[in-house]
Amino acid sequence: MVKIFQALLSRFFKAFLQAFLNHLVGSLAPTLIQLIQDASQSDLTNEEKRNQVFQQAKTLAITAGKDIRDSSLNLAIETAVKILKGGA
């Protein structure tokens, strides 16, 4: 029974994170996840990866005409990382 509850809670939390990410960056969410996946394959430090993803995402947001604050973009990146790591 506990495992069923944990599985349901995990699925809910992952869905919540995905909805939150979509709220933060809208249509850029899949691209942001792809940027993070690409960066994870590099030999850069975690800080360098974060900076790289941030700069790429910021450029994409500006190009797409989206006005996303830096703090919201950082939160979106952290949320996307959490989703990629399994959501819980």
In the chain, the number of structural domains is 1
Domain housing 25:
2-84
What is the Cα–Cα distance from 21 to 3, expressed in whole angstroms? 27
The burial of 31, by beta-carbon neighbours within 10 Å (0-12 exposed, 13-18 middle, 19 or more buried), is given as: middle
pLDDT at 22: 92
Q: Which two tokens stand for residue 2?
A: 């506990």
pLDDT at 87: 63
* Percent share of the chain, pLDDT over 90: 78
pLDDT at 86: 83
pLDDT at 88: 52
Judge whether residue 54 has pLDDT over 70.
yes
